[in-house]
Structure 1
Amino acid sequence: MATAGFIYPDHAAEDDYPLAERLLGDGVRLPVAHIYGTDLHAVAELLDLGSPARLAEGAGLLAEHQPDAVVWACTSGSFVYGWDGAAEQVAGLAEAAGGLPASSTSFAFVRAAAALGLRRVAVAASYPDDVASLFVEFLAKGGVDVVSMSAADIDTAAEVGHLAPEAVADLVVSRDHPDAEALLVPDTAMRTLGLIDDLERRLGKPVLTANQVTVWEGLRLAGASRPVPGLGALFSARGV
């Protein structure tokens, strides 16, 4: 049994993780531990949300599940630190988890893009523009060129979590760009796993979403990567 554990901020779209666990089938567990802070999409609040003390708390909550790897399941609460700061954040998380392999959603996006050979992407962000711009900078550090970025200017994760599936699909599809090889959707507060296959059919290109790449990264670190129907190109043989 492989276990990838996830530290998730507050409550919004964490039901994407049991959905992924069901799609993955036997032999994989995806426990989620919640930490709490403000859900505001603002730099100062996001820096606090991803602080060493909060992530250490999450690692402690996951310990009872005996995970093989841990992932900070928050994009904005990792890229807001910048590339080097996010790397230090992950190193601290690994230490707090007793030396387990660790990562975050921001690094998961970069590694997922590399796995699919993607270099030019569009970003459909739910955040305000100043926060979304920091994600673009982070991707650039990882060798991913953002040819188009749109920010929906939604202030809180709770608001994102309440978006209806149709609203999520419309937000994503309307932000595509003809020069992009894929579309990235960076908020773990947005329910997307049940929509990915349909979005990829509509756009004719890979769609990488925050909870999708986070699960993929956790499985990769836990040594449990596998092709899975229903989770998009990333979980095809090409992506794993």
Structure 2
Amino acid sequence: MWQPDGWDVRVRLGVLTPHADVGPESELRAMAPADVGLHAARVPFAAMGPGGQMGLTVPLAPVRAFAEPPHVDDAAELLAAAPVAAIAYAFTSSAYVIGARGEAYMLERLTERAGGLPVVATCAAAVGALRALGVERLALVDPPWFDATLSDLGRGYYEEAGFEVPYAAPCGLPSGQALIRPEALYGWVLEQVPDAAQAVVVGGNGFRAAGVIEALEAELERPVLTANQVLLWAALRAAGEPVDGVRGYGRLFSAP
């Protein structure tokens, strides 16, 4: 008699996302089971204009500023007032710029502002996922709007975490979130990823990539991790929820 109205969920997760970005919410909602609620707070990101428009490459200054007080801290505090069990920081590139130590400090700061609610971040989640899968060597594929400098910082982030990175580069597709198509990303990754890599990591929460995970894993016969995929995995774990209910989005969700 009654239609589903979104109220009957087993857990609610909060998401901190750039103010004009619809990518994280779109992919997280697609991957999450129906009984997982998702609730986003917008954080100002100076590199994004109306309609989510950005330049061909993203400057480092606004990327760094996104992770700094006061805006993201205020958003975390407000989001924590909702009945959410964990908060997911849906932004990749700031970790590249501030490094793993800076990211860890940011998470401590946000957790405190969120009243002790667990806060997880994309790159730290990727590191945890790689370790859970037993990966030592990875290929890093970044969005086309990450320039070579930013991508090199990403390589440094994972090398500092103890991984070998035989390949790291921005994806050679058109620079624009709305221009990315799954079939094009699939073909590009297959052509570029070296055999030396035990896994593929696709950076960028605004990079349309979740839909190709399973197809790439089947062809490459190795794990494929994307920004919003690892973020969902980490957020569910932080909330004390099982992850094996996520189907069709990679072997990560069935990893021990």
- Alignment deviations for residues 81-103 of structure 1 (CA, whole Å, 9 cap, x no partner): 11211111111111111111112
Report the CA distance between 1:155 and its aligned residue: 9.8
Amino acid aligned to 2:31: A
Amino acid aligned to 1:129: A
Equivalent position of 1:136 in the other structure: 155
**Comparing 215-224 and 6-15, the one that deviates more:** 6-15
Is residue 114 of structure 1 aligned with residue 131 of structure 2?
yes
Q: Is the 8 A contact 1:59 1:97 kept in 2?
A: yes
Is residue 83 of structure 1 aligned with residue 100 of structure 2?
yes
Query: What CA distance in whole angstroms lies between the structure 2 residues aligned with 1:42 and 1:81?
Result: 14
Match runs of 1:63-74 below 5 Å? 63-74=80-91
Equivalent position of 1:180 in the other structure: 197
**Comparing 147-156 and 208-217, the one that deviates more:** 147-156
| SS of aligned partner of 1:234 | helix
Amino acid aligned to 1:7: L
Query: What CA distance in whole angstroms lies between the structure 1 residues aligned with 2:21 and 2:78?
Result: 16
Report the CA distance between 1:193 and its aligned residue: 2.0
**TM-score, normalisation: structure 2:** 0.84
Quick one: which of 222, 230, 237 aligns to 2:248? 230
Is residue 167 of structure 1 aligned with residue 175 of structure 2?
no
Is residue 33 of structure 1 aligned with residue 41 of structure 2?
yes
Query: What CA distance in whole angstroms lies between the structure 2 residues aligned with 1:194 and 1:86?
Result: 27
Report the CA distance between 1:141 and its aligned residue: 1.9
Q: Is the 8 A contact 1:169 1:199 kept in 2?
A: yes
| SS of aligned partner of 2:222 | coil
Q: Is the 8 A contact 2:141 2:201 kept in 1?
A: yes
Equivalent position of 1:2 in the other structure: 11
Aligned length: 233
Report the CA distance between 1:78 and its aligned residue: 2.4
Equivalent position of 1:53 in the other structure: 70
- Alignment deviations for residues 49-78 of structure 1 (CA, whole Å, 9 cap, x no partner): 221212113213423532111121111022
Quick one: which of 16, 40, 44 aligns to 2:61? 44
Q: Is the 8 A contact 1:13 1:161 kept in 2?
A: no
Q: CA RMSD in A?
A: 1.9
Is residue 210 of structure 1 aligned with residue 219 of structure 2?
no
Query: What CA distance in whole angstroms lies between the structure 2 residues aligned with 1:118 and 1:112?
Result: 9
- Runs of at least 5 residues in structure 1 that lack an aligned partner in the other structure: none
Query: What CA distance in whole angstroms lies between the structure 2 residues aligned with 1:154 and 1:137?
Result: 23
Equivalent position of 2:6 in the other structure: none
Q: Is the 8 A contact 1:41 1:155 kept in 2?
A: no
Larger Rg computed on CA atoms: 2
